[in-house]
Structure 1
């Protein structure tokens, strides 16, 4: 009895303006590629770029517990930031005196 082979490719259909298709065909031709190969490679490259913008963070359970402890602790003021926040804005009274 024959077994069904698992499907390894999935079709994607797009509607594009004629000018876009002409540009894709021209670029694909310059690379010596078919339209399908060119579009697939461009889409995969764009997807990889997006996924690489936010790489996964991996850590041990102990490391995660330490991370959670750190981010759950009360924040400590940073003196330099407090000074910046306490400065009057240029449109507030006392700006010239504090400069």
Structure 2
């Protein structure tokens, strides 16, 4: 008896307004992706975000105490961020960022 491979992909069908399709196609094109790949990646990424937002963060009482102590400390400047903030914006320079 021949082995039948189990299907790994499951179809998903949607009806969308033409304007939505045009926007998706434009974005997919800008990324060099097919519509299917673009929509799948965007949907999975958003699904992961929703699931991560819903997951509780668990830690021990000791870990929570360490976390609260870290939050209570005064902030320290990050040298790389200070450097970025001190740079003039492109529209503030003679070359305009070019």
TM-score by length of 1: 0.55
Match of 1:53 in 2: 53
Match of 2:15 in 1: 15
Q: Does 1:42 align with 2:42?
A: yes
**Structure 1: which 5+ residue stretches go unaligned?**
64-99
TM-score by length of 2: 0.56
Tell me how large the CA RMSD over aligned residues is. 1.9
How many positions carry a matched residue from both structures? 60
Rg larger for? 1
Deviant stretches of 4+, over 4 Å: 56-59
Report the 3-state secondary structure (helix = DSSP H, G, I; strand = E; otherwise coil) of the residue aligned with 1:28: helix
